[in-house]
């Protein structure tokens, strides 16, 4: 058990955690996210008793606003469908709420709270003036026509629009919400409000207010953060064998950037299984199958040739690798997977998805000395570039891909260095989990103290 964990259990934080459990019964993912942050904060409260007096942690764990609403729409057969919409506006101490919208059958208020809570710290680490929030619906866009997706998005925005604005709450995309969905959402917002408010949504098309490199940013940023972790240990990504999970936006562009930096990415996955390609992924073929054809990774193996094979229904983490990048979804990498990766010699793990590693898995990596980059640091490139999109919208400007990518690289270096230096300042050298949690918390807590009891 870590000293941070001991500090939380014997000090002021453990009763506060029990209160979080009581007030948020059944929200398991939220409990997990709060526990992970609390386990790092014992030393902070020991140094800063004013945080306890102002009840900062109690306020930080309670969202400023939680919205749940009905989303009725009509499918192509003329049948009325009912979904549920969510937006958790968690904390605005540093700026307007910022965080994605997720359309997936698994979405519920507990997952939205977990993602919104994580977003608060992630956004703080970017150094950009943005608060944290998250939203979405249990609607599944898979196998739905464009017309059905449009009608759902229009109904969703008809309720959400009154809570949004470039100075209030600025959603982006997430799982199930890409350029198509953002377009329909923005169109309905413009139609209802009679305002061309470009900064109200990020992830827009390049021709109507979008930022270059936004699609690539989360995956690119994760790889850039990984490279910085390796550099801090006297290595670099070039020449490393990389295994990653997922085959969506984050995974595709993580693979692309890793291979640009000289690594060989050998895996990708979806809900059906995973592909191993010993020659290294053909990223253009993967883009064709996943982004254009909306196909399955099994089709990649069929079309790639003898270097690739598809493994049905198994975890990708049994594949030998130097670097692991979980880029699919929460809690996909457990203790057993972590132990396999460590036995196989993994050097660094960075989370491209939100909380993809279970607490037990994180413990395995920490005990083994593996460099471990938590999602709130490693996958912050997406929201950082969303904030850059907001800057361009505010100034009616448009930057080149190269300039935006350069800014992204600067931000990811800043996040890495902040986490690394904060961990060292609290006597936990190399502990990026503690560094990210403490650094993000201190930034938000200082702003909350300055702004009074609100």
Provide CATH 3.40.50.10860 ranges for the chain: 65-196
Residue 440: the pLDDT is 97
* Residue partners of 419: CB distance under 8 A and separation at least 6: 125, 377, 432, 435, 436, 439
SS3 track for 268-330: EEECCEEEEECCCCCHHHHHHHHHHCCCCHHHHHHHHCCCEEEEECCCHHHCCCCEEECCCCC
pLDDT at 322: 98
Question: Which pLDDT tens digit goes with each residue over 1-14?
Answer: 344 444 434 477 99
Task: Please report, in range form, the residues annotated as the binding site for NAD(+).
Answer: 218, 249
Long-range contacts of 24-32 (CB under 8 A, 24+ apart): 24/110, 24/113, 26/110, 27/109, 27/110, 27/113, 27/114, 28/110, 29/110, 29/111, 29/113, 29/114, 29/330, 29/331, 29/355, 30/110, 30/111, 30/113, 30/114, 30/117, 32/114, 32/331, 32/355, 32/359
Catalytic residue, candidates 48, 113, 134, 279: 134
Q: Where in the chain do CATH 3.40.50.720 domains reside?
A: 215-378
Q: Is 276 in contact with 319 (CB distance < 8 Å)?
A: yes
Residues of the chain with pLDDT under 70: 1-10
For 95-147, write each residue's pLDDT tens digit. Answer: 999 999 999 999 999 999 999 999 999 999 999 999 999 999 999 998 999 99
pLDDT of residue 294: 86
Q: Name the pairing type of β-strands 348-350 and 132-137.
A: unpaired
What's the predicted TM-score (pTM) here?
Answer: 0.91
Q: Is 15 exposed, middle or buried (0-12, 13-18, 19+ CB in 10 A)?
A: exposed
Return d(Cα 264, Cα 276) in angstroms, integer. Answer: 12
Binding residues for substrate: 98, 119, 122, 173, 386
Active site residue 134: yes
Give residue 6's pLDDT.
41
Q: What are the binding residues?
A: 98, 119, 122, 173, 218, 249, 386
| pLDDT value at residue 12 | 77
Contact 198, 398 (CB under 8 A): no
Residue 329: predicted pLDDT: 87
Does domain 65-196 match CATH 3.40.50.10860?
yes
CA angle 38, 43, 49 (to 5 degrees): 95
What distances in angstroms separate CA 360 from CA 176, 322, 337, 366, one per listed residue? 28, 20, 10, 10
Superfamily of domain 215-378: NAD(P)-binding Rossmann-like Domain (3.40.50.720)
């Amino acid at each position: 058990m870590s000293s941070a964990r001991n500090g939380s259990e014997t000090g002021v934080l453990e009763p506060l955690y029990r209160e979080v459990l009581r007030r948020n019964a059944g929200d398991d993912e939220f409990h997990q996210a709060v526990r992970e942050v609390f386990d790092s904060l014992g030393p902070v409260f020991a140094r800063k008793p004013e945080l306890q007096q102002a009840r900062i942690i109690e306020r930080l764990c309670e969202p400023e606003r939680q919205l749940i609403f009905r989303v009725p729409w009509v499918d192509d057969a003329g049948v009325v469908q009912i979904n549920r919409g969510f937006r958790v506006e968690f904390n605005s101490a540093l700026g307007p709420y910022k965080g994605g919208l997720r359309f997936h059958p698994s979405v519920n208020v507990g997952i939205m709270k977990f993602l919104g809570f994580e977003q608060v710290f992630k956004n703080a680490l970017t150094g950009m003036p943005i608060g944290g929030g998250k939203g979405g619906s249990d609607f599944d866009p898979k196998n739905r026509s464009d017309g059905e997706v449009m009608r759902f998005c229009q109904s969703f925005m008809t309720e959400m629009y009154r809570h949004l604005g470039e100075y209030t709450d600025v959603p982006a995309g997430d799982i199930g919400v890409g350029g198509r969905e953002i377009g329909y959402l923005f169109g309905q917002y413009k139609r209802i409000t009679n305002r061309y408010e470009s900064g109200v949504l990020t992830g827009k098309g390049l021709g109507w207010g979008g930022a270059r490199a936004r699609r690539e940013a989360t995956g690119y940023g994760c790889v850039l953060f990984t490279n910085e972790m390796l550099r801090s240990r006297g290595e670099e990504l070039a020449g490393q064998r990389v295994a990653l999970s997922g085959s969506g936006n984050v995974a595709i562009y993580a693979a692309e950037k890793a291979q640009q930096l000289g690594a060989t990415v050998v895996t990708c996955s979806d809900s059906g299984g995973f592909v191993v390609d010993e020659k290294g992924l053909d990223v253009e073929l993967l883009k064709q199958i996943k982004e254009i054809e909306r196909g399955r990774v099994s089709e990649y193996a069929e079309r790639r040739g003898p270097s690739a094979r598809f493994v049905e229904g198994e975890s990708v983490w049994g594949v030998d690798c130097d670097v692991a990048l979980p880029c699919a979804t929460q809690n996909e990498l457990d203790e057993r997977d972590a132990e396999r990766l460590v036995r196989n010699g993994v050097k660094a793990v960075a989370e491209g998805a939100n909380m993809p590693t279970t607490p037990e898995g994180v413990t395995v990596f920490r005990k083994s000395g593996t460099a471990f980059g938590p999602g709130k640091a490693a996958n912050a490139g997406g929201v950082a570039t969303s904030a850059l999109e907001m800057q361009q919208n505010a100034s009616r400007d448009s930057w080149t891909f190269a300039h935006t990518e350069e800014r992204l690289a600067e931000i990811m270096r800043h996040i890495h260095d902040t986490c690394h230096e904060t961990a060292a300042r609290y006597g936990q050298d190399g502990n990026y989990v503690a560094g990210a949690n403490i650094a993000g918390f201190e930034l938000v807590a200082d702003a909350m103290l300055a702004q009074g009891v609100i």
